[in-house]
Amino acid sequence: MDYYILGAVILAIILYFVIMMFRVKKAVTNLTQEQFIEGYRKAQLIDVREPKEFEAGHILGARNIPYSQFRQRFKEIRPDKPVYLYDQNGGKSSRAALFLKKRDYSQLYQLQGGFRTWTGKVKSK
């Protein structure tokens, strides 16, 4: 009996992650670093990491709107312009994109692999 319950829980978890993967895929376009560099200067570049991470180093020209403050501050982002998002590895920027998509933002892009894979120009304090 316990094996059935464990199997059902594991199946539910797998199903949840598959559904989330498809939702994210519909909400945001993943870009390689080269693709990201091509477009981010004409867009709103948003770093969703926490302020300490941002201050330690961020993509030149990025604005910091931490994911922990996203619900309160998302209106600082214009819905009529492309939005380029990134975080350390892609998880929080995906969730930020889903949040924005629900609020009718349509031009959403994220850096594939996140800031940890970034080799371009960086600014730090």
Residue 105, pLDDT score: 95
Closest CA to 73 of 92, 96, 55: 96
Q: What is the pLDDT of residues 14-23, one digit of tens each?
A: 887 777 776 6
Per-residue pLDDT of 51-100, as tens digits, reads 999 999 999 999 999 999 999 999 999 999 999 999 999 889 999 999 99
Closest CA to 107 of 81, 75, 73: 81
Q: Which domain holds residue 103?
A: 2-123
CA 35 to chain centre: 16
Q: Which pLDDT score, from 0 to 100, does residue 24 have?
A: 60
What average pLDDT score do residues 113-117 get?
94
- Global pTM reads 0.81
Total tally of structural domains belonging to the chain: 1
* Residue 42 to residues 69, 90, 117, 125, Cα–Cα distance (Å): 24, 21, 22, 24
CATH number at residue 35: 3.40.250.10
The H-or-E segment that residue 84 falls in is strand 83-86
C-alpha count within 13 angstroms, C-beta hemisphere, residue 67: 17
Ranges 26-30, 95-99, 100-104, 108-112: which has the least confidence:
26-30
